Structure 1
Amino acid sequence: MEKMKLKMLYADLKSDIDVIEKELEKAVGSSSHFLNEASLHLLQAGGKRLRPVFVLLAAKFGQYDIQKVKHVAVPLELIHMGSLVHDDVIDNSEMRRGRPTVKAQFNNRIAMYNGDFIFARALEHMTYIDEAEAHQVLSKTMVEICIGEILQVEDKRTLDQNLRDYFRRIKRKTAILIASSCRLGAIAGGTDARTAWHLERFGYYVGMSFQIIDDILDFTSTDKKLGKPAGSDLMQGNVTLPALYARSDAAIRPLMEKALDGSMTESQRQDMLRLMRKSDAIKRAQHVSDLYLAKALREIDALPDNKVKKSLRDIALYMGKRKF
């Protein structure tokens, strides 16, 4: 239901999103049976396609041409897909979006090569874009994402980390790719530098808000809606903002430590979720997400008059207030 609501917000882009879907199918094809099967497994799992949507909307502030813009939108979605495959190996995740992950369906080796293959396809697609700045933005984005994956490994199962560690991690995990989607869309559309800058800042702020909401939902949503057990982030060793705010709670901390060391029972998981949902940690994390969302909305106000601004605002509000 929530995903349907989101798609309604950019229904007028449906024909262009369909173009991108077809390009994605072609991009993940290869002569290898394993790579084909693994890539299609990931592609068919679906997704919100937020990054391509932001590319398209940003490009509409300039000279919009889907035949050019698609060569930016596709690489960004491919990078997102490839990073998910790598994340699932790092986190030893068995499920994503209610389906077995690539590493669960095949194995770690195939999953890692599959992620690398998808990254390579992203770079290949960008060769259709002449602007040097676009290649610089994309390469920097990929470097930052890879650094983020390493930082995620370094910070694993560390409850006593500071907030700065968390924020720099989600910047590289999520926000930078959404920011780059907006920036690259602006480049593909040939917007002026000021417009491109505001779009990039919008993407960064909305990406930070989006990831914090994702981390909140891991505690507040249900196993069914998440497509995986609630509290999975912590059980996989990833300490998120709600956990950082709750770690000083004498009743919650021992349960969180059990989640991190892998000794948590099902009843203890349920106890942890119940206590987390009642704690002020969720409200505090939501407040931080709201601050980022407010900054994103201010960036929209700074953009040139364009009917696309309403779409950006509606999607940002959805991302910052979603329940799934």
Structure 2
Amino acid sequence: MEKVKLRILYSDLRPELEIIEKELEQAVQSSSHLLNDASLHLLQAGGKRIRPVFVLLAAKFGDYDAATVRNVAVPLELIHMASLVHDDVIDDSEVRRGEPTVKAQWNNRVAMYTGDFMFARALEHAAAVRNPVLHEVLAKAIIEVCRGEIIQIEDKSQLDQNLRSYLRRIKRKTALLISSSCELGGLAAGADPATVAHLRRFGYFIGMSFQIIDDVLDFTASDAELGKPAGSDFLQGNITLPILFARDDEKLQALLQRTLGEELTDRQRLDVVEEVRESAGIRRSKELSDRYLQKALRELAALPDIPSKKALRDLAFFIGKRKF
């Protein structure tokens, strides 16, 4: 059902998204068969293409030029994909979206060079854009993604970390790239500064909501729905919002301390997942995600009333309420 909803949301953008998909395939081509295979393996594993969609919809608030907008959308998706490859190495992840990760299919070295290659291709593709402001925003987005990855390493297995640390991490890891997608779409189309500012803030708030829901789904969705074992973040030592809230329960805190960083059987993993799923951590996480969603909708309300505004609203609700 969720995938059907997403296809409906994307229906008006399908022709442009199909072109972007082809450009992504072309962008990861190289003289190395190994790089080609590894890059295409990740690309063809699928994905929601959320960032290109935000670029396309944001660009509708200005003077929309398809070629210019694609030159922004493609690099942003390449940056996102590069961060996923690196993330899987850091977290030692074997599965993503139901398929072996690049590091699992090949090895860590191939995965790291594949991610670096995608970052480089993103910069090469963006060179077609002549606006220096766009390059500045894109460069800052790359820097923040890298900082987010480092912060995640520093915070790993720190059960006593605070809420501020978590929010800082997901801001850099997820929200700022979505915020940049909306901002760059508006800038690429020459939208007025006030509109671009609303788009940027909308993207930031919806990005925060998006990541919190992702962290909730790691406990509430099934292995099959996630395409990886439920509770993977916890197994990898990543302390997410449901855990931060759930640890307030003394009984659950003892369980988390006892199992964090340990090799767990499937039964033990599912027991932890079930305990967190039944805790107040899930409800409180959804409540915070919804607060970010409402902030995003307030930014959206200030934008001109054009068809893309409704599309952004529908997409925001999908992100904030999705089940997997």
- The interval holding the TM-score normalised by the smaller chain is over 0.9
Quote how far apart the aligned CAs of 1:250 are.
Answer: 2.7
Report sequence identity in percent: 64
Q: Does 1:291 align with 2:300?
A: no
- Measured in 1, the distance between the counterparts of 2:258 and 2:20 equals 43
SS at match of 1:64: coil
Partner of 2:176: 176
Partner of 2:138: 138
Partner of 2:81: 81
Quote how far apart the aligned CAs of 1:111 are.
Answer: 0.3
Contact 1:255 1:264 in 2 (8 A): no
Q: Which residue identity lines up with residue 152 of structure 2 in the other structure?
A: Q
SS at match of 2:306: coil
- Between stretches 97-106 and 2-11, larger displacement belongs to 2-11
Contact 1:234 1:256 in 2 (8 A): no
Partner of 1:264: 264
Per-residue CA deviations over 1:14-39 (Å, capped at 9, x if unaligned) read 00001100100000000011100000
Note the residue ranges of structure 2 that are not aligned, 5 or more in a row.
none
- Measured in 2, the distance between the counterparts of 1:177 and 1:143 equals 10
Partner of 1:19: 19
Q: Does 1:154 align with 2:162?
A: no
Contact 1:3 1:48 in 2 (8 A): no
Quote how far apart the aligned CAs of 1:268 are.
Answer: 2.1
Partner of 2:98: 98
Contact 1:205 1:295 in 2 (8 A): yes
Partner of 2:58: 58
Contact 1:221 1:323 in 2 (8 A): yes
Partner of 1:320: 320
What's the TM-score once normalised by structure 2's chain length?
0.98
Q: Does 1:246 align with 2:246?
A: yes
- Measured in 2, the distance between the counterparts of 1:11 and 1:266 equals 39
CA separation of 1:259/1:226 partners in 2, compared to 1, >3 Å: closer, same or farther?
farther
Quote how far apart the aligned CAs of 1:153 are.
Answer: 0.4
Quote how far apart the aligned CAs of 1:257 are.
Answer: 2.6
Q: Does 1:32 align with 2:23?
A: no
- Measured in 2, the distance between the counterparts of 1:101 and 1:251 equals 35
Quote how far apart the aligned CAs of 1:240 are.
Answer: 0.2
Contact 2:29 2:36 in 1 (8 A): yes
Contact 2:236 2:261 in 1 (8 A): no
- Measured in 2, the distance between the counterparts of 1:319 and 1:91 equals 24
Per-residue CA deviations over 1:179-227 (Å, capped at 9, x if unaligned) read 0000110011110011000000000000000000000000111011011
- Measured in 1, the distance between the counterparts of 2:67 and 2:235 equals 43
- Measured in 2, the distance between the counterparts of 1:168 and 1:313 equals 25
SS at match of 1:251: helix
SS at match of 1:10: helix
SS at match of 1:252: helix
Contact 1:255 1:268 in 2 (8 A): no
Quote how far apart the aligned CAs of 1:278 are.
Answer: 1.5
Note the residue ranges of structure 1 that are not aligned, 5 or more in a row.
none
Contact 2:216 2:285 in 1 (8 A): yes
- Measured in 1, the distance between the counterparts of 2:182 and 2:313 equals 14
- Measured in 1, the distance between the counterparts of 2:36 and 2:153 equals 28
- Measured in 1, the distance between the counterparts of 2:168 and 2:241 equals 12
- Measured in 1, the distance between the counterparts of 2:259 and 2:104 equals 21
Contact 2:69 2:189 in 1 (8 A): yes
SS at match of 1:261: coil
Partner of 1:127: 127
Partner of 2:277: 277
SS at match of 1:209: helix
Quote how far apart the aligned CAs of 1:248 are.
Answer: 2.6
Partner of 1:221: 221
Quote how far apart the aligned CAs of 1:270 are.
Answer: 2.0
Partner of 1:303: 303
Q: What is the CA RMSD across the aligned residues, in angstroms?
A: 0.9
- Measured in 1, the distance between the counterparts of 2:200 and 2:146 equals 20
CA separation of 1:3/1:259 partners in 2, compared to 1, >3 Å: closer, same or farther?
farther
Per-residue CA deviations over 1:76-123 (Å, capped at 9, x if unaligned) read 000000000000000000000000000000000010000000000000
Q: Does 1:48 align with 2:48?
A: yes
- Measured in 1, the distance between the counterparts of 2:39 and 2:223 equals 25
Contact 1:183 1:197 in 2 (8 A): yes
Q: Which residue identity lines up with residue 108 of structure 1 in the other structure?
A: N
What's the TM-score once normalised by structure 1's chain length?
0.98
- Measured in 2, the distance between the counterparts of 1:225 and 1:315 equals 20
- Measured in 2, the distance between the counterparts of 1:269 and 1:198 equals 42
Partner of 2:191: 191
Quote how far apart the aligned CAs of 1:3 are.
Answer: 2.1
- Measured in 1, the distance between the counterparts of 2:155 and 2:222 equals 26
Contact 2:126 2:135 in 1 (8 A): yes
